[in-house]
Chains A and B, each alone.
Chain A
Amino acid sequence: SQTIHQWPATLVQPVGSPLSLECTVEGTSNPNLYWYRQAAGRGLQLLFYSVGIGQISSEVPQNLSASRPQDRQFILSSKKLLLSDSGFYLCAWSVGINYGYTFGSGTRLTVV
């Protein structure tokens, strides 16, 4: 069966520090991968998605970047965090849009 791993679960980082969040999927090949952010009490904001290795689409211009160095690995990064980067970061995977997404357990990031 397929599983998605996302870590860490919680993170407190100072303003101006770097960020690296990792997401890996097991049990499937060539998944579509997604990074979302959810502010407190708000909906899901799509940040990046990838349909293959090295293929990254950015949805919102911002302080973040994403990379997909391996088929089942998706990394979200920032060189310098801002207070506004705080939120709940969710990774998701899909084998096709008709099957929906499966979300990871999320990372709650607080920038202080």
Chain B
Amino acid sequence: QKEVEQNSGPLSVPEGAIASLNCTYSDRGSQSFFWYRQYSGKSPELIMFIYSNGDKEDGRFTAQLNKASQYVSLLIRDSQPSDSATYLCAVGETSGSRLTFGEGTQLTVNP
């Protein structure tokens, strides 16, 4: 059973702080990694993807991947109240057409 584990929440940070969301995965052969944001009552939307070890930056978001440690993280700099949502980590399976999702981490950014 392929697993994706996310750090348990909820996570609360003050406005302007850095929010750090973490994820580990069990399928050592996975090559594609995604972060989705899900606002309450809405469907998940893709905000970041990463394939190679290292950092990938997009605006205030940075995804980090370490395949040797089977670890993916998402950093949100200068957190805003509008970033308050549940963040889902997803990992592409080695062979096949499915993503495995973590349970999500709920983030609250306090004004």
Pair from one complex: yes
- Docked pose: A99 CA to B99 CA in angstroms: 10
Indicate which residue in A42, A97, A103, A104 contacts B32 across the interface (CB closer than 8 Å): A97
| A46 and B98 contact, CB distance less than 8 A | yes
| A100 and B46 contact, CB distance less than 8 A | yes
Given the complex, which residues of A lie within 8 Å of B61, measured CB to CB? none
Q: What are 26 residue pairs bridging A and B, where the CB atoms are less than 8 Å apart in the complex? A: A32-B97, A43-B88, A43-B101, A44-B44, A44-B88, A46-B98, A90-B43, A94-B97, A96-B97, A97-B32, A97-B98, A98-B31, A98-B92, A100-B32, A100-B46, A100-B49, A100-B90, A100-B99, A101-B90, A101-B99, A102-B46, A103-B44, A105-B42, A105-B43, A106-B42, A106-B43
| B43 and A51 contact, CB distance less than 8 A | no
Total interface residues on A, CB under 8 Å, equals 22
Given A46-B98, A97-B99, A104-B43, 13 new contacts (CB under 8 A): A32-B97, A42-B103, A43-B102, A43-B103, A44-B88, A51-B97, A90-B43, A90-B44, A96-B97, A97-B96, A98-B92, A100-B49, A106-B43
Please tell me if A49 contacts chain B, counting CB pairs below 8 Å: yes
Which residue of chain B is the closest to A105 with respect to CB atoms? B43
